[in-house]
Homo-oligomer: A and B are copies of this chain.
Amino acid sequence: MKKDNRKKATIYDLSMLSGISPSTVSAVLNGTWRKRRIKESTAELIRDLAEKHQYTTNRQAQGLRRSRSGLVGLMLPVYDNRYFSSMAQTFEAHVRQRGQCPIVVSSSRDPHEERETAENLISYSIDELFICGATDPDGVHEVCEAAGLKHINIDLPGTKSHSVISDNYEGGRMLTEAIIGRFSTGDPLSPDELFLFGGRNDHASRERIRGFRDVKRALLGADPEASIQPTGYSPNTARIAFEAFFEKAGRLPRALFINSSINFEGLLRFMSAHPHETFADLVVGCYDYDPFGSFLPFPVIMMRQDVEGMITKAFELIEETRTPPKIHLIRPDLVPPRTALTGPLDGLKDIV
């Protein structure tokens, strides 16, 4: 059945076998054959032959010729948390639906690696690049621009191309309000009992902090400078910050605004070193949603960023290259404690 195993059949093989020219074979197999006035019967013949020999087009060659590869890139800071992994999952679904091939890579929040990654993807002639959570979106923009590659920022905005991001200010407000709302009027929260941990000096953090402060001042009347503790996006630096606070104050604040689920993992590390009682009256608000995080032994309010909405909008906006760069805000959703939301996985078939 199989002729020469090992090596894939090419249009030249099919050409030899059928006595039809390679260009005609190509036209039949890539769908442009009607335009080229190829006979139906000829097309039929070639299609059968292709099927029989399990022909698949060599995309490297195709990409070289067409100078587009069918690859669509997503650059992520990291994979390993539910926000970014659902980003990858959602992105992939969209790309595949368009008949293209998703290629997801991470760049570790390192501006230099971000540029290198972009260069690297470009060398594969990807057709579009979605830049998610980049530390230096404008740097990546330069690289894309120089290569004439369509691109768009997600999660963290740039100034030189369109961006689709969460409405972090509103999200910060909503989350802060919700945290404060957990405390009864009989036992109200004082301004120095609500702290924000995590994040760094990026657009998202700044906006969330702005929302946090505005609401805090409005509802609690004050907002001591010390109540903001940016720790970067790493579990460990967050853990250290919690430990330091605990060391100094003898306890955790009653209420915490945690700037990302990654930082929340820092709290977990802290928790593992301290008894349950330490968290008896704790209320946590966390930016980012994690289903397991929502069910911890203390109330955890989470902000679910609308990943589906962001990706959808990004696919629209990436086509629009003429208008000046704008930032498109997508509203995140407040998730009350003990809530298990459905996610991108729910779209899949259940096979038992």
**A contacts, CB < 8 Å to B:** 2, 5-8, 54, 56-61, 63-64, 69, 71, 78-82, 84-86, 88-89, 92, 101-106, 108-110, 119-125, 135, 146-148, 200-201, 230-237, 262, 264-265, 268-269, 271-272, 290-297, 338-340, 342-346, 348-352
Q: A56-B123, A80-B344, A80-B345 are in contact. List 11 more A-B contacts (CB 8 A).
A: A6-B148, A8-B122, A102-B105, A104-B104, A110-B349, A200-B352, A235-B340, A235-B345, A268-B294, A292-B293, A292-B295
Q: In the complex the two chains form, what is the Cα distance from A147 to B54 in whole Å?
A: 10
| With known contacts A5-B146, A148-B6, A351–B232 Cβ distance under 8 A | yes
Q: State how many copies of this chain the complex holds.
A: 2
Measured CB to CB, the closest approach of chain B to A122, in angstroms, equals 7
B residues in contact with A106, CB < 8 Å: 89, 92
Measured CB to CB, the closest approach of chain B to A349, in angstroms, equals 7
Q: In the complex the two chains form, what is the Cα distance from A123 to B8 in whole Å?
A: 9
Measured CB to CB, the closest approach of chain B to A25, in angstroms, equals 16
B residues in contact with A60, CB < 8 Å: 60-61, 63-64, 69, 124-125
B residues in contact with A124, CB < 8 Å: 59-60, 69, 71, 101
Q: In the complex the two chains form, what is the Cα distance from A201 to B272 in whole Å?
A: 36
The 8 closest A-B pairs by CB, nearest first: A292-B292, A232-B352, A268-B340, A85-B85, A297-B297, A269-B340, A292-B293, A60-B64
